[in-house]
A and B are shown apart, each in its own frame.
Chain A
């Protein structure tokens, strides 16, 4: 009733007095306010970024074109010679390989574990805040302290882990001798530190998922696992992308853990666990003291990170949108299937559930029986945020 009446007069009233010929000062300021203020409000970040982000980036590019000694300062302009020299160093490529290996060992399990833990924390646990803060504790510990503790754990001869392995009759692992073993050990430090942090980010995103979706899923007979993959994961897609990108950037820049992993901090006698950032550090502050080459390494690393970041972005977008739908089923195909199903339903009159196109195998036989939960859901729709969770428990 009251829907139509207020809108029309408003329109009518607004039309006659259009912009006046002359703008008063306050009006002009007001217009300026609307146009300029938002930019001013966000400008501190960009100013700061220009000073501490963009400037170093550009300056590094400049340095990389010169023969530049740490102590001697700027030398001759050498063009791309630093890049060529770095690309010809087998050590650079070894460090890149190490970086990728450690990155894979850390970021992949990290993101998967973080989502899993977040999903558990998203349930209505007792003392939820305690658990939620608990996962963040490792993040608060200084990385150097973590490295020192893990250093003791992973010591080759008198390390705790090798002692434990000895108890169950397993040969000690050469944590500082075997390349993959050292990557694994370093990755555990990284994971220890960052999993909790990512968990909280995922948890925040999961909390924002509308609870009605879970209710609907429960009514549709989706089990917990199915809910997780069909509701939670697609809903937190943006966050997954964010976390994957940040952990890519972080994973490609691992430094502290490697630096503290052995006494000299340069990746061991064979540089078996020297990451690219440690290589950069060694070139700039080690015996070579070549800022020019180090700057070139920094830019090469930057390019690598951008490429890997983009690749991950594309990949995660695929996975997240794909969700549980089989990636093989094309959109046109699913549309055709849906139309067919509808037509079939109309013809026969029986309510054919418009089955999710990806569920090739039909409803999984192992899905939990929905009936018991349905009655209790229905009366409690008044407060949808709380009760479904309780019911599930």
Chain B
């Protein structure tokens, strides 16, 4: 009996295997078929009249409203634009990196990225479509294009917004302390055109002496603005090699300076940026000033609802500074890369970015948009009707370039930030905390 069933069973198994295999082949062939016209279409670039849907993935609020995207469909009737928004840039980053690692399956046609992720993505430029386009030369401020250009000249992202930094302050608290509180007065008091971190901290000293309250929100946030003004803070711009943190006197000096101001002179409120205490601090008059990239006006308004007195001073210690800003990329694995590139170019056009600025306060990186009437005359109602457009335009002009950030930048920077937080939040001993950062940084360098 067994001998008679065995061959039959194995035959059956063989038949089944063959069946499944052939099914798989057929299905595979099918998917191959469906794929091909898509990619072929994309490569041809004849956006012709084939119906396509392009997905745009962004995070937070890019100011791309449904009406805005409908406008594109009006101009390109065959293109439907779908907009996916992640609540937080971290989510978008995880999504992007995970799907890139999986071969690009499931990515949107256009993926928004933050400047902070550029170093890691720039190591794999082949994952993205080269967006170089001679027609768009001179659209953005130079350093913005520089940031997204690989050493061999490939452009992997079109700039959307930038984060020129000013100082946001509480005019009511300064006034109560009998200190300058008008926009121009405050700018002058902090140091005006020649403001340095020392003059900023000296002004803070006066406020702290007067009131006993803190001058700025967090040592780590303040350090962020300081370190962004160093070119090649943690790495050698020429080679990209990480510097030894133990002998990095530039960074150590800034560290000492911010720690002295925060811990010794009590200028810092000791709140962890974005933490619960920090959010609550806005309602509790915990601090009088903070570094304020253009997009920060949004979170301030969100956290400080019903608190009157926030204003923007057209001043920034140490010259200009940029904090953050985003790009639109076109993953190379997409089916309609050509059409997506066209859409990305449209979304980052001066006209569209001006609308986005009015919608979400994201300051445009496009020169034409910065100079436009709409941006120049824009006032921020919550910020005491401050002429935010004009102020951030001036602040943007003070930026003289983007600092070099290589692949180890954020790993080392995170350790230094931890060191500052250990002192600022948990009152640890500054030197010991720095030593810990030096050893920790050695462990994360690649």
Contacts and interface: CB of A to CB of B under 8 A. Distances in A.
A214 B262 CA distance: 66
Interface in A118-163: 151-152, 155-159
B426 A287 contact: no
A348 interface: no
B101 A73 contact: yes
B422 A70 contact: no
A262 B275 contact: yes
Interface in B417-440: 417-422, 425-428, 436, 440
B277 A156 contact: yes
A70 B272 contact: no
A54 B257 CA distance: 54
A253 B259 CA distance: 36
Q: Provide the main secondary structure of the chain B interface.
A: helix
Interface in B244-286: 270-278, 280-281, 284, 286
Nearest to B443: A89
Contacts of B274: 263-264
Interface residues of A, number: 30
Interface in B62-102: 94, 97-98, 100-101
Interface string A31-56: 00000000000000000000000000
A156 B218 CA distance: 14
Q: Provide the main secondary structure of the chain A interface.
A: loop
A91 interface: yes
Nearest to A154: B276
B280 A158 contact: yes
Given A157-B277, A270-B426, A71 B100 contact: yes
B230 interface: no
B398 interface: no
Contacts of A91: 440, 443
A374 to B, nearest CB: 58
Given A157-B277, A269-B419, A176 B101 contact: no
Interface string B401-431: 0000000101100100111111001111000
Contacts of B414: 287
Contact of B426 (A90, A157, A264, A269): A269
A263 B425 CA distance: 13
Contacts of A155: 275-277, 280
B444 interface: yes
Interface residues of B, number: 42
Contact of A287 (B276, B410, B436): B410
Name the residue among A89, A155, A286 with the largest chain B CB count within 10 angstroms. Answer: A155
A375 interface: no
A325 interface: no
B411 A287 contact: yes
A308 B123 CA distance: 41
B446 interface: yes
B240 to A, nearest CB: 15
A177 interface: yes
B188 interface: no
B425 A177 contact: yes
A59 to B, nearest CB: 13
10 cross-chain pairs, A with B, having the tightest CB-CB distances, nearest first: A287-B411, A269-B421, A263-B274, A158-B280, A177-B426, A269-B418, A263-B275, A155-B276, A269-B422, A157-B277
18 contacts: A71-B120, A71-B124, A72-B123, A72-B124, A89-B443, A152-B276, A157-B270, A157-B286, A177-B426, A263-B273, A263-B274, A263-B275, A268-B421, A269-B425, A285-B94, A285-B98, A287-B411, A288-B446
Interface of A: 70-73, 89-91, 151-152, 155-159, 174, 176-177, 262-264, 268-270, 285-291
